[in-house]
Structure 1
Amino acid sequence: MTQTNTPKPGPRPDRAPSFSKGSAANAAGESGTSPGAVSASDASGVAPAADAAAAGEISVVTVSDAQDRTSAGSLPAVGGTVQQEWVQQAPATAAIPVVTAGPGSVSAPGTEPAGADTEAAGTAAVDIAPDTAAAAEPVPGEDVKDLPGRRERPEGPEPASALTADRLLTRAAAAPVSGWRRWLYQATLGYVNLGDSDQVRIQRAMEHRIATRLGERTRYVPVLSRKGGVGKTTVTTLLGMVLAELREDRVIAMDANPDRGTLSDRSPGRADFTARQLVKDRFTVNSFAQLSNYTARDGSRLDVLASDTDPTVAHAFDDADYRAVTDILGRYYSIVLTDSGTGMVHSVMKGTLEKADAVVLVSGGSVDEARLASETLSWLEAHGRQDLVAKATVVINMAAGNRTLVNIDEIEEHFLSRVKNVVRIPHDRHLAEGSRIRLGQLKPATRAAAVELAALVVDELQQA
């Protein structure tokens, strides 16, 4: 707010207002008259302004042109009441009119007078837009932290937890992992980075889905097939290896085939004990270190619990034994895969299906293999397990390759009418060898299919 100096009573009527020499010279140069003429002609115009100031009114007189003098009542108000007054300046400072335009005005820099009273001195006020004024200067009574463009910081010293990597480190785009994009990145010494292809990004998204946490309790996934030789053990090993490689928790594959199982033959590593021996020692196994003596792990993060090689001993593995073993495994593993046998009416199958959170049904690429797999779904529905059929994942194992006359697309379309997910695993020479499986030796298409299978299974386990 501009301070107003009230003139002393009884001024001489023929006395002109005092102003600096520079101001008079400028006025005389613009109007073509002498300074004395300006003072004499303004004598009659200053008295009404002084009376208005004494009465509490505010007026403006423009001095840019000495001959064009405008009365205060003829000027429009700017942002409210506007006032002008003549001020006695120091000899080195020109007299500048002071215009007050409400709270949205900003004083021009460098116009502060040398006198003691800076508010009464000639400081020019510039009218600006209301939005700009609000952003440039806080409104009285408004909290400063609410102003736009200001970074909110807590009062007082910051804790050590405020020094995060996201705040302190400058993130650089990751280099492409393969292909011509990788070659271009290396050839330009990192200056040209086009990022990964869409296929790589989709693969990373699937891997992220596989690594999702499933909660506190253990999930059980049996791998079923009513016909031998369709690759049930191969699918169990592939699924288990991908889950164990991309997840942070523990995954185990258990051979529950009443006949001679081959899960340990397809998985790396050897164990000194089997599932049957674990049943005998179940009351003495009280730690994961003790349980590790019964499982095999060599070159893979997947643990394997093998069955006995003697079919007569393996046949004694019944439903009670399966439940006892899975209860022990449930203490230390997050996902338990079960390589089931071909007999759906075997006693082990009862406990397998009762504990199952999701099922994987394996079908071959032939007519009889596809028909038996579809009949397995019908058997589950007939025994009241429609819930497992609704979230089942059918795997079409193309072990024989694509050279047959069977229309695989028709088989896939048939299963999609009954289940939610269908995955086709292409023919791979490494899988056809029938020996130990190593993920690094698989074709890219085979590995991508295994990753897709693992992602679909984890999606179903999240909803279980």
Structure 2
Amino acid sequence: MADKPEEPERGDLAPRDDEPTFRPSPLEIDTKLSIAVDLPPAPPQEVPEDEAAVAIDDIPVDPGFVASPTEPTTTSVAIVASRLATGPTATQQDAGDGVVPLPGQDGHSDAFAQSRRDRLRGEHSPQPEPAAMLTADRLLEVNRKTRPGPEGPWQRFVYNVTFRTVNLGDSAKVRARKELDHRIQKQFEGGTRFVPVLTRKGGVGKTTITTLLGMALADAREDRIIAVDANPDRGTLSERVPKQTRATVRDVVHKAASIGGFTDFSALVSRDETRLDILASDTDPLLSEAFDENDYNVVADLAARFYSIVLTDCGTGIVHSVMRATLQRADEIVIVSGGSVDEARLASETLTWLEANGYTDLVRNAVVALNTATHATNLVKLEEIESHFRSRVREIVRIPYDPQLAAGSVVNWKDLKPLTKLSARALAALVVEGLPAERA
């Protein structure tokens, strides 16, 4: 009998013809396999701001390690919320600061935007709110009873005929007027804003522009506006409103120690129908020349206690000490130019003098009021004057001819031509937009 062929040992992996192929389990391999692969670092992934994904902490994995089925192991994996793109930096987290500061709490953001449009209904503010935030559109529910009636002839007619059930809204003209009002009514925080009105040329209408600007501001705003005549050469600002007192800036200086409130101060000013207060200059040229830098600072300090905006009607003496004190307090300036060649040139030279004396920022933020009621306006190209100033300042506004202004007497706001009032309101809106909303 032939010998039976010898069976292979268990270590021999060669299969026999009469048995199925046998593949060992990876668990029966005693040797661990380690593979080293050099991969370039993955680029950092930015998480979209509108998503809040989760990230798994990086855990080293051995590709040759396989857990034994008889000895199961448990690995804890930490799940952490991924950082948004605008979250704190690694340095901040290492220092223990894991809280992202809210807007307005880092000392660099505006505390308030004077509006609740960017916040949800009923959401609390992170900081105490000023009284200006309690507006009618925030507190009142808009319905048939609280919604105001439309302005405009046709809109009002439809509103009345339908027994106040159909409200077409305001006309386009009324909407434009209200939008201009909204720009002028910008709220300020942190003190009084000072706006000098000046130029080196006399007779171009500085006093007229100061009066128009002050009336436009006082007519649209709810806070107090005052115009101070700081012309050392016998200013005429007080003659543009009905005179209610004979007091001047000299009286304010003499009585400064006894002025304890707004009632005391208001007895020294004249007020017109728009609620613009006017503080007159001295009528005696000898006394007015004695009004110097220190006197102006006394008047300005008192005005800053009671008024939100102080307009200063400056004289032509740009090197006078009063001008130095005025410019040191200025938040913005208004340059007045006439429509003639020499008036426009002297207005431009005023800007050059300001730049040469360290007031470059005021020049860049300045507004030029182009008074077209001056002599020889019809003989020059106003577009060329505007083009010149547009290269140097922020904005230019044309003030049209108006018989009431040309008379050089009392100005009644309600009697001005519509175009004149519109130009004055446009000037007021531009001036307000150039003033800082907040001040430290």
Superposed CA deviations along residues 256-311 of structure 1, whole A, max 9, x for unmatched, are: 00011100001233213110121112111111111112111143301111011111
Is the radius of gyration larger for structure 1 or structure 2? 1
Moved over 6 A (4+): none
Alignment partner of 1:291 is 2:265: yes
Q: Is the 8 A contact 1:401 1:426 kept in 2?
A: no
Which shifted more, 426-435 or 250-259?
Answer: 426-435
Write the distance in 2 (CA, Å) between the matches of 1:452 and 1:168.
30
| Aligned pairs (5 A) from 1:390-401 | 390-400=364-374
- Give the SS at the match of 1:233: helix
Write the distance in 1 (CA, Å) between the matches of 2:429 and 2:400.
17
- Give the SS at the match of 1:254: strand
Superposed CA deviations along residues 307-342 of structure 1, whole A, max 9, x for unmatched, are: 111111100000111011111111111111100001
Write the distance in 2 (CA, Å) between the matches of 1:293 and 1:180.
46
Residue 415 of structure 2: which of 405, 427, 441 is its match?
Answer: 441
What percentage of aligned pairs have identical amino acids? 53
What residue is the counterpart of 2:198 in the other structure?
Answer: 224
| Aligned pairs (5 A) from 1:313-462 | 313-400=287-374, 404-462=378-436
Alignment partner of 1:206 is 2:171: no
Q: Is the 8 A contact 2:196 2:327 kept in 1?
A: yes
Deviation at 1:189, TM superposition (A): 6.1
Deviation at 1:165, TM superposition (A): 6.0
Cα distance change on mapping 1:180 and 1:371 into 2, 3 Å: farther
Cα distance change on mapping 1:179 and 1:396 into 2, 3 Å: farther
- Give the SS at the match of 1:462: coil
What residue is the counterpart of 1:239 in the other structure?
Answer: 213
Write the distance in 2 (CA, Å) between the matches of 1:423 and 1:389.
15
Return the TM-score normalized by structure 1.
0.61
Q: Is the 8 A contact 2:144 2:165 kept in 1?
A: no
Gaps of 5+ in 2: 1-121, 123-137
CA RMSD of aligned residues (A): 2.3
Superposed CA deviations along residues 118-155 of structure 1, whole A, max 9, x for unmatched, are: xxxxxxxxxxxxxxxxxxxxxxxxxxxxxxxxxx9xxx
What residue is the counterpart of 2:276 in the other structure?
Answer: 302
Structure having the higher helix fraction is 1
Between 1 and 2, higher relative CO (CA 8 Å, sep ≥ 6) is seen in: 2
Q: Is the 8 A contact 1:399 1:432 kept in 2?
A: yes
Q: Is the 8 A contact 1:268 1:300 kept in 2?
A: no
Superposed CA deviations along residues 1-53 of structure 1, whole A, max 9, x for unmatched, are: xxxxxxxxxxxxxxxxxxxxxxxxxxxxxxxxxxxxxxxxxxxxxxxxxxxxx
What residue is the counterpart of 1:272 in the other structure?
Answer: 246
Residue 252 of structure 1: which of 226, 231, 254 is its match?
Answer: 226
Superposed CA deviations along residues 132-191 of structure 1, whole A, max 9, x for unmatched, are: xxxxxxxxxxxxxxxxxxxx9xxxxxxxxxxx9644843576444345554565566656
Write the distance in 2 (CA, Å) between the matches of 1:299 and 1:413.
36
Deviation at 1:400, TM superposition (A): 4.1
Q: Is the 8 A contact 1:268 1:299 kept in 2?
A: no
Q: Is the 8 A contact 1:270 1:298 kept in 2?
A: no
Q: Is the 8 A contact 1:226 1:344 kept in 2?
A: yes
What residue is the counterpart of 1:50 in the other structure?
Answer: none
Q: Is the 8 A contact 1:401 1:427 kept in 2?
A: no
Return the TM-score normalized by structure 2.
0.64
Cα distance change on mapping 1:260 and 1:240 into 2, 3 Å: same
What residue is the counterpart of 2:41 in the other structure?
Answer: none
Cα distance change on mapping 1:333 and 1:214 into 2, 3 Å: same
Q: Is the 8 A contact 1:240 1:251 kept in 2?
A: yes
Paired letter, 2:287: V
Write the distance in 2 (CA, Å) between the matches of 1:165 and 1:259.
51
- Give the SS at the match of 2:267: helix
Write the distance in 1 (CA, Å) between the matches of 2:163 and 2:375.
43
Write the distance in 2 (CA, Å) between the matches of 1:194 and 1:443.
29
Write the distance in 1 (CA, Å) between the matches of 2:192 and 2:283.
28
Gaps of 5+ in 1: 1-151, 153-163
Cα distance change on mapping 1:199 and 1:345 into 2, 3 Å: same
Write the distance in 2 (CA, Å) between the matches of 1:165 and 1:370.
50
- Give the SS at the match of 1:404: helix
Q: Is the 8 A contact 1:269 1:299 kept in 2?
A: no
